[in-house]
Structure 1
Amino acid sequence: MPAFDQRPGAVRDGAAIAHFGDPITEQRRLAAGAAVVPLEDRTVIEVAGEDRLGWLDSITSQALTGLAPGESTELLVLDPQGRVEHAAGVFEDGSSVWLIADGGDAEGLAAWLQRMVFRSRATVTLRPELALMGFVAGGEAEKTVVADAPNGGPLVWADPWQHVQPGGFQYAQADRHPGEELAWRVAILSDAAPLAAGELEVAGALAAEALRLAAWRPRWSTEVDERSLPHETDWIRSAVHLNKGCYRGQETVAKVHNLGHPPRRLVALQLDGSDAVLPEPGAPVLAGDEEVGRVTSVARHHEDGPIALAILSRRAPVGDLVVRADGVDVAAAQQVIVPADAGATADVPRLTRLSRRPAGEDPRAAH
């Protein structure tokens, strides 16, 4: 989407435009549904063929066989030990399934899917020429963004994070989950140039990331590492169906959810902004002198100020923490997302222990 680089104030950071000169104002407009974000750090994968839904259902964490045209969901690809390898938003248009993946994951996901086709009637195609535009539903941006889809109908993915999905489970114990307040949408466009040249307000990636963090929403490019289980980030809420058929990694997903606890847990951090120091992803999180985890994402929110997501050890204490950034210890108020006792949901009957009685004692004496 090079046309957006010509917008006044555009500042690029790697694959995406970070902002257009005023990140906080852009964030307010985005939250109000009055601006769109060019999502240049995501890539589209098209899966076509009559077996596409059943085939994807059999190899991923999500139940997809009943997905109707116009419906959205999310899937994960897990390794045999249940760790997250790939993630994607899913939109079915009646002819193809459209997968939206982080740019760093798209080629690996597409290659893995192509290796798994075997005799299924399905084709997998990377579509880097398609543009992705993010916006919040319900405002002027939604009215203006026309999803000029390759198959002739609108392609607009509705992020399922807003609600616990069928077959999903929420570990967060908040009275009202902040994800409910973010009606995030992503439009797939054949050509974004008209939007770039038009008068529609635009926002940068910093604005979108701040809204994501405030909603406690995990992302492959930031919250996932080689050890990640979906339980640790509450991703079972939107991307895992606990009652579907067998798929790779399912045994671990079921075992941790029903009988165990995830070894790590996602938290939200409210950072002290008095030193004007914003930690980088990867900054250590300390409880006293002990390192208990790492920051995964950081943003400046237009209402909440500096905020972060972090992955901590399950046994990390609940309470105020410290994030070490550039030699400065930044105070961080912890808000638990995934509690330490997450999992172990199965109601397993326990055998009554029989007490030992001294030899020769009449068991009826106790009655």
Structure 2
Amino acid sequence: MTGPTPSPLLALPGAVAGNGIDAPVAAHYGSFNTEQRSLEAGEGFVDLSHRDVIRIKGPDRLDWLHNLTTQFFAGLAPGVWTQALILSPTGHVEHELRGVDDGESFTAFTEPGASGPLIAFLERMVFMTRVEVTDVTADVAVTWRPTSSRSVEEGALAPVSKPDEGTYYLVPRDQLTTFAEAAGPACGLWAFEALRIARGEPRFGLDTDHRTIPNEVGWVGTAVHLDKGCYRGQETVARVHTLGRPPRRLVLLHLDGSENRLPTRESELLLGDKPVGLVGTSARHHELGPIALGLVKRNVALDATLTTDSMPAAQEVVVDPEVGLHVRPRR
């Protein structure tokens, strides 16, 4: 598949395009701080139409996904949001997807550019199973709205909901502008990312790497179902979940705001002059200031101040370094 085309919503007033893999959508529409406040107040929407979208059809699709992934797909009811991972035999995260079944097909989205490798893997796993996997990115766009926002009266829209984190909509791509008119005001990706990072929610491939296991980033219990049969990589996940002490842990970093910059992704996190981790995504939060997600070695003290790109960075726990608690406690 060729790279995503720029979103038509970049033509909206004030739109400024993002960068890197997020370049096809708007980073902001004039004020990312105002846009964050709008989303927190339950207003507006975010254009995520650069995300890849796949569709899995066939009568065996749910049992097939149940056997392949970390999630419990058997008997999944239509309209129920779910997130799933595909692991390596040693438990490292190779693919991440989230989506919804409509009774006839399962439609899911991934990070930009991630559908090709995912589809290639899935097609190798078909064997005699009655499933068909297709890339529908050209036809389906992803958007996001706060959970508390008013409903959008558009019959063609398929909501994909998760409490406390907002609602994803799978929108026919040719109706994206119509959706925007109904769901406004438009809020850019910078606002969305700041709120995501503040929640401690990692982004696959940006806050994770080829060594990441689900236990390190808080995906046990959300993307990993603990009461299902065997799947590839289960032994590692179960062992770490039972015994605790994952090799690394996800942290929310509160960065020194005296410099008007954010750290480069994959910058080293230092304890003194010793490398102890890497920075993932970062953003400017309208209340918390500059923040980032990072992966640090488990044995780094919780109260240790780290540095990255010569900036001090205080830690807030997202994943407990010991046992049991694999997501940050609610405030």
TM over 0.5: yes
> What is the rounded CA distance, in whole Å, between the counterparts of 1:220 and 1:265 in structure 2?
15
Cα displacement (A) at 1:187: 0.4
SS of 1:228's partner is coil
Cα displacement (A) at 1:183: 3.0
Could you say which residue in structure 2 is the equivalent of 1:132?
A: 142
Are 1:69 and 2:78 matched, yes or no?
Answer: yes
The 5-angstrom pairing of residues 221-300 of structure 1 reads 221-259=205-243, 261-300=245-284
TM-score of the pair, normalised by structure 2: 0.90
Cα displacement (A) at 1:207: 0.8
SS of 2:114's partner is helix
Are 1:189 and 2:171 matched, yes or no?
Answer: yes
Give the unaligned 5+ runs of structure 1. Answer: 149-153, 163-181, 346-367
Could you say which residue in structure 1 is the equivalent of 2:292?
A: 308
> What is the rounded CA distance, in whole Å, between the counterparts of 2:130 and 2:105 in structure 1?
12
CA contact (8 A) 1:51 1:121 kept: yes
> What is the rounded CA distance, in whole Å, between the counterparts of 1:101 and 1:317 in structure 2?
34
Are 1:337 and 2:318 matched, yes or no?
Answer: yes
Cα displacement (A) at 1:55: 0.5
Cα displacement (A) at 1:198: 6.0
CA contact (8 A) 2:161 2:168 kept: yes
Could you say which residue in structure 1 is the equivalent of 2:3?
A: none
> What is the rounded CA distance, in whole Å, between the counterparts of 2:182 and 2:11 in structure 1?
12
Are 1:11 and 2:16 matched, yes or no?
Answer: yes
Cα displacement (A) at 1:23: 0.8
SS of 1:308's partner is strand
> What is the rounded CA distance, in whole Å, between the counterparts of 1:211 and 1:126 in structure 2?
29
CA contact (8 A) 1:267 1:338 kept: yes
SS of 1:144's partner is coil
> What is the rounded CA distance, in whole Å, between the counterparts of 1:183 and 1:228 in structure 2?
23
> What is the rounded CA distance, in whole Å, between the counterparts of 1:208 and 1:184 in structure 2?
10
> What is the rounded CA distance, in whole Å, between the counterparts of 1:4 and 1:145 in structure 2?
20
CA contact (8 A) 1:7 1:196 kept: no
User: Counterpart of 2:167 in structure 1: which amino acid?
Assistant: R
Cα displacement (A) at 1:8: 1.2
CA contact (8 A) 2:9 2:25 kept: no
Moved >6 Å (runs of 4+): none
Could you say which residue in structure 2 is the equivalent of 1:203?
A: 187
CA contact (8 A) 2:70 2:86 kept: yes
Alpha-carbon RMSD: 1.9
CA contact (8 A) 2:194 2:285 kept: yes
> What is the rounded CA distance, in whole Å, between the counterparts of 1:286 and 1:147 in structure 2?
51
Of the structure 1 ranges 258-267 and 77-86, higher mean CA displacement relative to structure 2 is found in: 258-267
**Number of residues paired by the alignment?**
314
TM-score of the pair, normalised by structure 1: 0.81
Of the structure 1 ranges 69-78 and 315-324, higher mean CA displacement relative to structure 2 is found in: 315-324
Give the unaligned 5+ runs of structure 2. Answer: 1-5, 327-331
> What is the rounded CA distance, in whole Å, between the counterparts of 2:84 and 2:153 in structure 1?
25
